[in-house]
Structure 1
Amino acid sequence: MILQTEEDSMRLSPLPADEWDDAVRHAVAGMLPEERRNPDDAGNLLATLVRHPDLTRAFLRFSFYLLSASTLPPRIREQVILRVAHRRGCTYEWTHHVKLGKKAGLSDADIAAIQSGDPADDFDRAVVGAVDELDEKSNLSDATWSALSDRLDEKQRMDLVFTIGGYTALAMALNTFGVEVEQER
């Protein structure tokens, strides 16, 4: 379970509907279907990020690649993102990616093992360990790189490193801005 702290207060609120101008719509164009290009349907993350449209557009392009076009298998991608979210205490990222992780084939036991840092499978341990190593040392050991190469090719290992870094940056932003998880409708 990820615990919120006093410092998790909202610092940047989602941009109100009456402030969604052409620059904001341009920032999310191509990343969101037209029916979601509004503050009610975009979600709190995007509705907050669009306070800086140029940054949002650039960041979304990179994030879209990591989430939708990366060479990483979805199950591994979600393991990585969940471990980042857990280590960073990012409730928003965790909440959204538990759902995506289950769609990608992670079981409740897999998710619990990601939190504890002790998956049963050797390769899953290497994936979770890669997140931990990069977080602690900004580098992977030769042993971890080798273990990852048992199932991941060069491009996939590159995508793994960038997924860890990208979602770490996102967790930092989410936590700092105080983006709240959406209420169920």
Structure 2
Amino acid sequence: MALVPPLPADQWDERVDFALKGLMPRHMRNPEDAGTAMATLVRHPELTKAFLGFSVHLLFRSTLSPRLREMTILRVAQVYECEYERSHHIRMAEEEGGLTRPEIEAALAGTAEDEFENRLLSAVDELHKNTALSEQTWNALGEHLSEQQRMDFIFTVGGYGLLAMAYNTFGIEFESER
């Protein structure tokens, strides 16, 4: 049961449209096409607008490659037990990140065949557990990632962790369940 249900269609107004403007094309900024997560978040248009600006950076402007970004998000969704986030990013991991099904399953489990990718997934777990990376982990990630990429990694883990907490608390339902 949703603690915070999607905003009813009759309450969608210009504030809601403005909140979604930076993320979605006009034809999707409606209760039917926005999806249940966005339709729920727009109950607070100002917060949605602010958070989506940050999310757009993480998803579209990050210095992380789509592959590493999606592996990171998959692991975050798994450790936060967020089925909604996990299912949406499985599709994105395939389509945008080029991950195979076995690679996706491995990322969800926190492992990868590639040594660096395995280290990256372990870093997600370290951040989740300790709320910080050790100097050793930071430096190890630096063998393959620039400082800006490592910063984007930290914010990707944090941003998607926050989103997972919100989705889990609000009770975001899958579009097919509506």
Which of the five TM-score ranges fits, normalised by the shorter chain? over 0.9
Partner of 1:135: 128
Distance 2:21 2:14 in 1: 10
CA shift for structure 1 position 105: 1.1
Partner of 1:37: 29
Give the Cα separation in 2 of the matches to 1:49 and 1:58. Answer: 11
Aligned partners of 1:26, 1:44: CA distance in 2, in Å? 17
1:170 — aligned with what?
Answer: 163
Query: What is the CA distance between 1:81 and its match in structure 2?
Result: 0.4
SS of residue matched to 1:11: coil
In 2, the alpha carbon distance for the partners of 1:140 and 1:32 equals: 34
Amino acid of the structure 2 residue aligned with 1:60? L
Verify the 8 A CA contact 1:75 1:105 in the aligned structure 2. yes
Alignment of 1:55-94 (within 5 A): 55-94=47-86
Distance 1:74 1:180 in 2: 26
Shift of 1:180: 0.9
- Structure 1 residues not aligned, in runs of 5+: 1-8
Partners of 1:115 and 1:71 in 2: how far apart?
Answer: 22
Q: Which residue of 2 aligns with 1:4?
A: none
Where does residue 49 of structure 1 map in the other structure? 41
Aligned residue number for residue 102 of structure 1: 94
Q: Secondary structure in 1 aligned to 2:2?
A: coil
Match of 1:28 in 2: 20
**Quick check: 1:84–1:164 contact (8 Å CA) kept in 2?**
yes
Q: Does 1:124 align with 2:123?
A: no
Which consecutive unaligned segments of at least 5 residues does structure 2 have?
none
> Which AA in structure 2 matches 1:94?
R
> Contact conserved, 1:13 with 1:48, CA < 8 A, in 2?
yes
Residue 118 of structure 1: CA displacement? 2.2
**Letter of the 2:2 counterpart:** M
2:77–2:83 CA contact under 8 A, matched in 1: yes
Q: What is the DSSP-based 3-state SS (H/G/I as helix, E as strand, rest coil) of the residue aligned with 1:15? A: coil
Give 2:61's aligned amino acid.
Answer: A
Deviations 1:80-99 (A, max 9, x none): 10000000110010000000
- Compute the RMSD of aligned alpha carbons: 1.1
Displacement, 1:50? Answer: 0.3
TM-score when scaled to structure 2?
0.95
1:115 & 1:31 partners in 2: Cα distance?
26
SS in 1 for 2:145: coil
| Runs of 4+ off more than 2 Å | none
Query: Could you tell me whether the CA contact under 8 Å between 2:2 and 2:171 is conserved in 1?
Result: yes
